[in-house]
Structure 1
Amino acid sequence: MQGRNRAVTIIALVIALLVVGLVIAALRFHHNADALWKIVSEQCIPGQQKTGNPAPCENVDIAQGYVTLKDRDGPLQYLLMPVAKISGIESPLVLNPRTPNFFFQSWQERHLMAEKRGAPVADSAISLAINSEYGRTQNQLHIHISCLRPDVRQQLNQLAPSLSEHWQPETLLNHPYLLRTLTVEQLAQQSVFIRLADEVPEAHAGMGKYGLSLAALPDGRLVLMAIERNWLKLNRGSGEEVQDHSCKIL
């Protein structure tokens, strides 16, 4: 009887994994996975180079290697993307020290939210996020610059005194995360992709499984949050889940 129950459980898990895989494949098929790259390479960069107009991008900085684009989802959400073709967090290029520090650049570009709103947006309301290879629909690396969920804001405020520069497990939104603090100077000095690969066991060999997000703490430090994909728990490694594009926090 126990053997039969175990077999049924295994079959159910296999079916669940297949369903999840099919859903993800369907999502990727439904969406044009190269849509963002086409915008960057066929509109923003040529427009900037030929006429000085980066539209539909907000900004094109060839020297620093990135563009910013207003996302259609949410009143204040922006995307920061490389000018080069980089698929996402799984790309070996993100671990190359010569690759631009996209998370730091994104933090520097958070002023776009206030400019769009026409009023200040406190750092406590802002978050950055990138999804895992399995939690995205676009195959051009893009970092979401958007609002933080109010409930995540409250939890991070409570956790802040116990957080340090050592990765520690915490649960956010019913998912297991690894959290560690950073100063703005540390964010500028080293890419968070390299930091994750160097500091979290097994991450270097499986970067595509991770999503990353970043937010400010009440004491001025930043907190880096890493979530790892887990098919059995229907967790696609979406760092974006800590964000609220409707910006209720404001």
Structure 2
Amino acid sequence: MSRLLLLLPCLLLSACASTPAPPAASDALWRLIQRDCLAAGGPQGPCLAVEPAPDRRDVLVKDRHGDYQFLLMPMDRVSGIESPQLYQRGAPNYFAAAWQARAQTERALGRPLPRNVASLSLNSPQGRSQHQLHIHIDCLRADVLQVLDAQAGAIGTRWAPLAQPLRGHIYQARALPGEQLRANPLNLLAQDLAGADVGQWGVTVVGRDAVEGGPGFVLLATRVDPASGNDASAEELQDHACTVLTGAHDAMERVR
């Protein structure tokens, strides 16, 4: 049995079986998957692609908020970052699939999407409205990009707090070298930072041009903190109007 399985409270306490069913409104994405992604005639409506391969089993959906935002979701019932099946040996690396799907954002923009601007976010249970895992694929906020550029030299390959808060919240950061996301960010979070507390965290993955002499990523993670009003909605680091590239004013309220 893997160390991660032993860490997860759902398995240790049998809490999952006693968790009440979420309200119908929080099942909207799951119903969309069943209706539009698994339709007999193939993907339809906002569902753009279905990948049924055993090592993937994911779908890509155009989010209704923002012109450039897309969602990568499991085909199977997976509630979110707290779900034990995400940490089992051989589980799909949904972040790697989401990184590949950023090409959809680039097509929607009609211009190149620089690596440093591309971002993937997964919210905590407290920072989301839907109980089907969904990774937000969209642009990074300009102010967050500025902080990461300024802090680039201080971000190493071990988790450590950023010297400057992002959106008023404390974020842990670590660099990850490599052109593609071969390592699973969720495993890196659970193994090296969150442990059994993984369901209290939100994560954003940002592409970077220079990590240890080549392309890579920065992983950003924040923990729920009611005292500071932080619900670990890591999506707060994204800009669904992609202002850094379009110059448009982001007048949308944050959507979880």
Residue 184 of structure 1: how far off its partner (Å): 3.1
Aligned equivalent of 1:192, options 171, 185, 194: 185
Are the counterparts in 2 of residues 129 and 212 from structure 1 also a CA contact under 8 Å?
yes
Task: Give, in whole Å, the separation in 2 of the partners of 1:127 and 1:206.
Answer: 24
Aligned equivalent of 1:210, options 201, 214, 229: 201
Unaligned runs of 5+ in 1: 1-27
Q: Which position in structure 2 is the counterpart of 1:137?
A: 129
TM-score of the superposed pair, with normalisation by structure 1: 0.82
**Shift in alpha-carbon separation, 1:87–1:237, aligned structure 2, 3 A:** same
Task: Give, in whole Å, the separation in 1 of the partners of 2:52 and 2:201.
Answer: 28
Q: Which position in structure 1 is the counterpart of 2:8?
A: none
Task: Give, in whole Å, the separation in 2 of the partners of 1:139 and 1:157.
Answer: 34
Q: Which position in structure 2 is the counterpart of 1:15?
A: none
Task: Give, in whole Å, the separation in 1 of the partners of 2:113 and 2:179.
Answer: 21
Aligned equivalent of 2:221, options 226, 233, 242: 226
Are the counterparts in 1 of residues 138 and 239 from structure 2 also a CA contact under 8 Å?
yes
| Counterparts of residues 36-51 of structure 1 (less than 5 Å) | 36-46=29-39, 50-51=40-41
Q: CA RMSD in A?
A: 1.6
Are the counterparts in 2 of residues 160 and 218 from structure 1 also a CA contact under 8 Å?
no
AA of the residue aligned to 2:31: K
* Identity among equivalent pairs (%): 38
**Shift in alpha-carbon separation, 1:134–1:53, aligned structure 2, 3 A:** closer
1:219-240 Cα deviation digits (max 9, x unpaired): 1221000000001111101110
* Structure 2 counterpart SS, 1:58: strand
Greater C-alpha Rg = 1
Greater helix proportion:
1
Task: Give, in whole Å, the separation in 1 of the partners of 2:178 and 2:29.
Answer: 28
* Structure 2 counterpart SS, 1:32: helix
1:103 aligns with 2:90: no
Unaligned runs of 5+ in 2: 1-21, 246-256
Are the counterparts in 2 of residues 127 and 214 from structure 1 also a CA contact under 8 Å?
yes
AA of the residue aligned to 1:79: L
Q: Which position in structure 2 is the counterpart of 1:68?
A: 60
- The alignment covers a number of residue pairs equal to 216
Are the counterparts in 2 of residues 130 and 143 from structure 1 also a CA contact under 8 Å?
yes
